[in-house]
Amino acid sequence: MSVCRRCCAGAIGLLLAISACGGPHPGAARSGPNTAPALVGPTAQASSAMPPPVVSTEASHLAPAPTTSPPPPAATTPAMRPSTSRPAQSASVGCGPGRASGTTVLALPGGRRALLAVPEDDTGRRRLGLVIGLPGYGQTPEQLAAQSRLPARAMAAGVLAVLPQGAGPARSWNFSGTTGYDDLAFLSALITRLVTTECADPARIVVAGISDGGDMAAFAACSLHVRFRAVVTVAASTEPRPSCRPIRIIAVHGDVDPLDPYGGGPDGRRGYPATPPAIPAIAAWAALDGCAHAITTSIAPHIVTTTYPCGAQLVSVKGGGHTWPGGAAVAASLGVTTSEYDATATILGLS
């Protein structure tokens, strides 16, 4: 498998520290836009304690190059438009006073880092929804920020967003026992920290990710004691673990994805699980809630939704690649980025 096999993979005590052990998987990387690639397709507008945050100046983003092909006509339905109203906030709790607004960098245990986006007009005295965005294999937080525009759009929507980096030199996620890093403890401690010091609302946390980050988001939703409001996977197909509790899940997947095949197939990396077919996978998530029948709807020329009444949904992008719908285009080898669906708006609408 090539180096680009994947793009963009109760509370923990605050006195323990995360230490990264083991090493990254030596196999082929499913990397994100780490070089200066040719671009195709349209873009859309669009159990450990953490130490005190180390805040830098505003993080630089990997600016995407302009698309090389003209965009097709966009078809946007009301369900896909980002909300212009601010989410309801809880009563004043006096948390997070004096924190920096804008996009800052957090230094995390094990040499990791994260981008944290805080709304500019937030007083730090009301709890806000939190979006956790997990980059793909090899992808940096800045690259995911540039591709998805999650930090900027979260701030505009009055929501906190954090994009943590994967572990080790490969910046990977341990969702299948393939590395020695305890990513569940890492994420649990990060969430505890953000709820405690950054005023995140524990009842309004959405976890999302692309590629391996999407697999990790689903694994965390099944394995952590945190009650996530929803999980959103992009360019990833995964099934729930046997002990997984019901959760709302939206899977967004291109049907010509060259790395996570829509129809399923072997991963290509030693020790990694095969990619399950997208349609049976979403049916397995729906079965957790006892849903057996879905409604299939075409909401745009190249967008088809398979929706179960219990909340599980598959968004199929006809002709879509291993990309972020509604985001910036990436390497030509990863396929087309559609402008007919806005994955970031979907994520923010759930927070």
| Nearest-angstrom CA–CA distance, 24 and 26 | 6
Closest CA to 344 of 187, 88, 133, 102: 133
- DSSP three-state, residue 142: helix
- For residue range 14-35, list pLDDT tens digits in order: 323 333 333 333 333 343 333 3
- Given a cut of 60, is residue 3 above it in pLDDT? no
Tell me which of 45-49, 217-221, 282-286 is least confident: 45-49
Tell me which of 85-94, 181-190, 213-222 is least confident: 85-94
Q: How many residues does the chain have?
A: 351
Residue % of the chain over a pLDDT of 70: 72
What is the per-residue pLDDT for 93? Answer: 54
What is the model's pTM?
0.76
Measured in whole angstroms, the distance separating CA 265 from the mean position of its chain's CA atoms is 22
| Nearest-angstrom CA–CA distance, 209 and 230 | 12
What is the per-residue pLDDT for 122? Answer: 73
- Given a cut of 60, is residue 48 above it in pLDDT? no
CATH of domain 97-350: 3.40.50.1820
What is the per-residue pLDDT for 33? Answer: 35
Q: Provide the 10 A C-beta neighbour count for residue 146.
A: 22
Signed CA dihedral, 330, 335, 339, 344: sign only: negative
Tell me which of 189-193, 205-209, 239-243 is least confident: 239-243
pLDDT band at 50 (very low <50, low <70, confident <90, very high): very low
- For residue range 84-110, list pLDDT tens digits in order: 344 444 444 557 666 678 999 999 988
What residue segments make up the domains of the chain, in order of their start?
A: 97-350
